[in-house]
Amino acid sequence: MHIKTILTQTYHDQNPGTSGLRKKVSVFKQVNYLENFVQAIFDSLENYQGKALVIGGDGRHFNREAIQIIIKIAAANGFGELIIGQNGLLSTPAASHIIRKYGAFGGLILSASHNPAGEHGDFGIKYNVTNGGPAPEKDTLAFFERSKTLEHYQIAEFPDINLDTIGTQTVDGVKITIIDSVADYAELMQSIFDFSLLKQSIQSGYMTLAFDAMSAITGPYAKYIFVDMLGAPLNALQNAQPLEDFGGHHPDPNLIYAHELADLMFSDDAPTFGAASDGDGDRNMIMGKGIFVTPSDSLAILAANATLIPGYANGLKGVARSMPTSQAVDRVAKKLNIPCYETPTGWKFFGNLLDADKITLCGEESFGTGSQHVREKDGLWAVLFWLNLVARRRQSVLDIVEEHWQTYGRDIYSRHDYEAVESSIAQEIMSSLREQIQTLPHQTFGDYTVKYADEFCYHDSIDGSTSANQGFRVGFENGSRIVFRLSGTGTVGATLRIYIERFEPDSNKHNQDPQIALAQLIELAEQFCRVKERTGLTEPTVIT
């Protein structure tokens, strides 16, 4: 193998967040920018020589070119086998499964998840470890530190690899296998859910569905599973062809960006069930005829009904939710007498609990749900879980949700996102909140008396690590909460997320519009952070 050592300039902005390094495509196309970061990752790892690396991405612009670069750097650095999705495509949950199934050392996933794609859009790369989950913080910090001192990288010289033909070849002693992007994942889903029941329910016409892949990665997965395996008509799928620019969609599955699906599900012609996924396939939006299921409620309902699913028939070890996620699943865990863990946002925290066999299901309010089957959130898994519930319970989504509220009460919940906030203003908001939390406890604001106010800090019981500065919580005597947090998933400015939650035990009040039911808390949130006043924005960018 002919290996070249390339001298390079150092970049000082390659600090990966909770979901890897995300920048504009134009940034990644800078001279040696991607090469530097990949070399920094490999320089920070140990004992991988001769072992397998999984590579794949969501198909966005620059995906194929990036994979060719990674192949050659991985070969030069001593990986013995590269396992790559056909056409360079792998959904994030599929990549996690493949790392685990084939015993790979780790994997590189090329995605900016729910961020827009295209030549002027975003690109991203993250490293997943042997358990299939995102690299822990100690690793991502090591990648960043190495990137700041990197002076050269190594790259092998050989022709580009054909990514489109399934099969195995050996190039200069490195085994390169192009695999079917979908087959292994579909087999895993079939081992968890009752595909016979699903197929009968769909083909009989009892259950109709609409699934929007948003022109991103899950189109081929949805076609193979829903159409080819379960017999749904092809027109049940919307935007099922992956495109480099995601067809101009903002691939974030919520009521704003998946409005075509939302309009359908609230129309007279709505099918039984509707769902959408995001750019890399790890998020989900669940809808039924005339209802949108919040991700917080979805997690709680899946936990409450898990034993109806073949893969979870023996019950749950425990559940976990991110701190901003509503407390709905806590109430289910209490009734089931199982542990419920509250973690920071970021799937790696769930990964520790899953590896330690402390939990079975987990989820975040940001449209991510998952379980022990992989170490990432999994959009299609959640869709199949819901379809299996509808088919097994022989109830509509609306009936299932309302019955759940009658049993456990409703956590009325909403998230207000203020996107692309100037970074200095965002930091000013957080500094102001940090000052206020000292004085807020025991103060009364209208119907709400503050019980506690703090900055969330998580002590990981599995690896002993501490994660501080995870967002501000304001809790009230009646169980309501307001949470403020800056998101690390954008590439322009900062995104301020405000989470508002009120518990309502009275079933006569369960069908209130959340924005009306939460009006006082929404006003309080603005009073505390003054985001509208500071930014000049008159309303949130996105409300979910």
**β-strands 21-24, 122-128 pairing:** antiparallel
How many CB atoms neighbour CB 247 within 10 A? Answer: 16
Instruction: Say how far apart CA 442 and CA 457 lie, in whole Å.
Output: 21
Same domain? For 278 and 190 the reply is: yes
Measured in whole angstroms, how far is the alpha carbon of residue 11 from the centre of its chain?
28
Same domain? For 222 and 173 the reply is: no
Residues of the domain holding 156 = 3-181
Same domain? For 199 and 172 the reply is: no
48-105 confidence digits (pLDDT tens): 999 999 999 999 999 999 999 999 999 999 999 999 999 999 999 999 999 999 999 9
Known catalytic residues?
Answer: 113
Same domain? For 176 and 31 the reply is: yes
Number of structural domains (the chain) is 3
Same domain? For 313 and 193 the reply is: yes
Pull the structure tokens for residue 344: 């920071």
Pull the structure tokens for residue 309: 């699913």
Instruction: Say how far apart CA 196 and CA 178 lie, in whole Å.
Output: 30
Single pTM value for the model: 0.94
Same domain? For 118 and 252 the reply is: no
CATH number of the structural domain spanning residue 34: 3.40.120.10
Query: In the β-sheet with 410-421, what is the strand arrangement from edge to edge?
Result: 444-445, 448-455, 472-476, 481-487, 494-504, 410-421, 542-543
Instruction: Say how far apart CA 298 and CA 401 lie, in whole Å.
Output: 9
List per-block mean pLDDT (blocks of 10 residues) for the chain, which spans 544 residues.
Answer: 96 89 97 98 98 98 98 98 98 98 98 92 96 92 97 97 97 97 98 98 97 97 98 97 94 91 97 97 97 96 98 98 97 98 91 96 96 97 98 98 97 93 93 94 95 94 88 95 82 86 93 94 96 93 87
